Amino acid sequence: MNEQLEALIEPVVTGLGCKLWGVERHVQGKYSLLKIFIDADEGINVEDCARVSRQVSSLLDVEDPFKGKYTLEVSSPGLDRRLFKLEQFEIFKGARVKLKLCKPYEGQKKYIGLLCGIEEGDVVIRSNDDEEILFPFGDIERANIIPET
């Protein structure tokens, strides 16, 4: 469903001079929360979010992709940005990341380490003990950048 939403929303976001970073949809019963993350080379401000929100809201009212009511939130990805696509992992090569896996690997589902890049569809993380671990992209439930302090 998120891929279909992205395909619907991306031309609007791009047309407004922004990049679609990612989409999250949370469903609770008849209600949905749709979070859209936008970015731009020069950064995102509140007005950018408001413009995208108005246009996407109008589009969703016409296309009506949800059953029931929904709430729309538009924001920048932030410093602890979530990584949605494989290409985004390559962009943030060298950053510290926090991964949550769909299923345990060696007994754990959460990993923190240095993002070394991607290798044949796998995300490469260097753990604190200098071990490099390859995670298939499809096995990653969620990945976030850990902001440097």
Does some domain include residue 17?
yes
Looking at 19, 52, 75, which one is the last position of a domain?
Answer: 75
How many folded domains does the chain comprise?
2
CA 69/CA 74 separation, integer angstroms: 17
- pLDDT-derived band at 50 (thresholds 50, 70, 90) equals very high
Strand partners, 123: 118, 135
Q: Calculate mean pLDDT across residues 107-122.
A: 95
Does some domain include residue 81?
no
Instruction: Check whether 121 has a pLDDT greater than 70.
Output: yes
CA 89/CA 84 separation, integer angstroms: 8
The mean pLDDT value of the chain amounts to: 93
pLDDT at 1: 60
pLDDT at 3: 85
| 28 and 61 inside one domain | yes
Q: What residue has token string 């070394």?
A: 116
pLDDT at 141: 96
Query: Residue 54 sits in a domain of what CATH number?
Result: 3.30.300.70
Higher-scoring residue by pLDDT: 64, 7: 7
**Among the listed residues 71, 69, 125, 49, the one whose alpha carbon sits nearest the alpha carbon of residue 94:** 125
